[in-house]
Amino acid sequence: MVQKIETFYEVMRRQGITRRSFLKYCSLAAGALGLSPAFAPKIAHAMETKPRIPVLWLHGLECTCCSESFIRSAHPLAKDVILSMISLDFDNVIMAAAGEQALSIIDETVEKYDGNFLLAVEGNAPLGEEGMYCISGGKPFVEELTRVSQHAKAIISWGSCASWGCVQAARPNPTTATPTHKVPGIGDKPIIKVPGCPPIAEVMTAVITYMVTFDKLPELDNQGRPKMFYSQRIHDKCYRRGHFDAGQFVEKFDDEGARKGYCLYKVGCKGPTTYNACSTIKWNGGLSFPIEAGHPCIGCSEEDFWDKGDFYDRLTKVSGFGIDANADQIGAAAAGVVAGAAAIHAGASAIKRIASKKEDA
C-alpha cells in the first residue's frame, strides 16, 4: 500500500493542507496531550522529519465500539490521525478494500516493516476450541494475532476487550476470551492498555499522537495503562465530588437529589473505583459524560467490571453464598450467628456454674 515512506508533513502538504493549518494542528495536538505551548514546534518538527508509522489494526471478539469511538475524535480529528499521522495500512472495519487482496496487506506490512509497525488490537482472542470461536479471514483470530505480534514494535490494546477481557470474558467465559497480554505466544512486546468500553476518543488519538511525536511509549502505570489518562479515578475529578463530601446523595433516580445533581454514590456509581479520564476529557468533543448526564459510572474501564455485581449497587454482590449477598449481608449474618452462639453459650455457662455451686454447697 505504502511504497515510499513519506513524512507526516509531506503527506499533509500533498493533501493540500497549508503550513498555517499544519502548525495550528500541531498546537492543538500539544494542547490535547496536556503539553505546554513550547511543545507545538517540537511536534511540528517531528512531523516534518519522521516517517509515518505503519499501523495494523486487527479486530478480534468485540463489538467495534472502540472504532466507533475513535472515528469521533475531535482533538485531533480521527481523519488527521489516520491520514496524516499514521499510515493505517489495515483495519477491516473502516477500510474499503476486502477479501484476500486486503488481507495480503498484513503480510506485506509485516515483511516490509518488521519490528517497526504498531499493532493495534481491538477485541480479544477466544482461546477455547483452539480459537474457533473467532474466525477472521478463514483462520482463528488468535493465530493471526500471535503471528503479527511477533513482528510488531509495540501493541496497543484498544478497549476493555483487549485490555481486560470485557463482557465476553465475564463469568463463566464460555469461549475463554483472553485479553492480549495473557494470550500465550504474544511475545514480550510492550503492551499499552487503553481500557474503556469504549475508550474515550481523544484518549485513543492522543496515545497515537504521543507515540508518533516522541517516538516512544507514553509513561505507563504498573498495569500498562498510560498514566496521563488513567492515573486518577473518575471520582478524583468529578464535578459532583462536593456533594459526595457534603453527604448529599441521590437516593432514587426520580428524587429531589437527582434533580439537584447530587452525588450518585448510593445508586451504584463506580466513579470511586474506576481509573479513567471521563470526568476531565469527557465525551463527544467534551460535551458531557455519564455522571453529568445523571447516570452512575458503571466502571467500564476496570478489569472484570461486568462481574462486579449490579451497576446500581454500591456494594458488590459476592457470589458463592447460594443467594446473592453483599459483604455487609454476609458479615452481619456471620456476626449474628456468632453473637447468638455466644449468648447460648453464656446461658449454658451460667447453668453450669449454678449447678456446680449447688454441688459444692
Partner 1 sequence: MTDASTTTRKQEAVYVYQAPVRLWHWVQAFAILALGVTGYLIGSPPPSLGGQASDWFLFGWIRYIHFVSAWIVIVGFLFRIYWAVIGNEQVREIFVPSFWRPSFWGGVWHEILWYLMLAKEPRKYVGHNPLAVLAMHFLYVWGIIFMIVTGLALYGEGTGMDSWQYRWFSSWVLPLLGQSQGVHTWHHLGMWVLVVFVIVHVYVAVREDIMSRQSIISSMISGWRMFKDDRPVDRD
Residues in contact with partner 1 by the rule CB under 8 A? 221-223, 227, 231-233, 236, 242-251, 256-257, 262, 265-266, 270, 272-275, 299, 302-305, 308, 314-316, 318, 326-328, 330-332, 334-335, 338-339, 342, 345-346, 348-349, 352-353, 356-357, 360
Question: Residue 39 CB, nearest distance to partner 1 (Å)?
Answer: 22
Q: Which three cell numbers stand for residue 188?
A: 514480550
**CB of 114 or CB of 236, closer to partner 1:** 236
For the bound state, the minimum distance from the C-beta of residue 234 to partner 1, rounded and expressed in Å, comes to: 11
Which residues lie below 8 Å from residue 360, measured CB to CB, with a gap of 6+?
none
Nearer to partner 1, 167 or 330 (CB): 330
**Which alpha helices (H) appear in the chain, and where do they start and end?**
8-14, 19-32, 39-49, 65-70, 78-80, 99-112, 141-149, 159-163, 201-214, 227-230, 241-246, 256-260, 278-281, 327-360
Shortest distance, position 284 Cβ to partner 1, whole Å: 26
Nearer to partner 1, 72 or 235 (CB): 235
Report the nearest approach of partner 1 to the CB of residue 6 (Å).
Answer: 38
Please classify residue 162 by burial: count the beta carbons closer than 10 Å to its beta carbon, then call 0-12 exposed, 13-18 middle and 19+ buried: buried
Can you read off the three cell numbers belonging to residue 166?
Answer: 470485557
Cβ closer to partner 1: 90 or 249?
249
Please say which residue, 143 or 304, places its beta carbon nearer to partner 1: 304
Q: Is 119 helix (H, G, I), strand (E, B) or coil?
A: strand
Question: Coil, strand or helix: which one is 236?
Answer: helix
- Judged by CB, which is closer to partner 1: 34, or 115? 34
3-state helix, strand, coil in the chain (%, to 5): 45, 15, 40
Q: What's the closest the beta carbon of residue 193 comes to partner 1, in angstroms? A: 12
Least gap, CB of 129 to partner 1 (angstroms):
28
Q: Could you give the angle at which helices 201-214 and 19-32 cross, rounded to 10 degrees?
A: 110
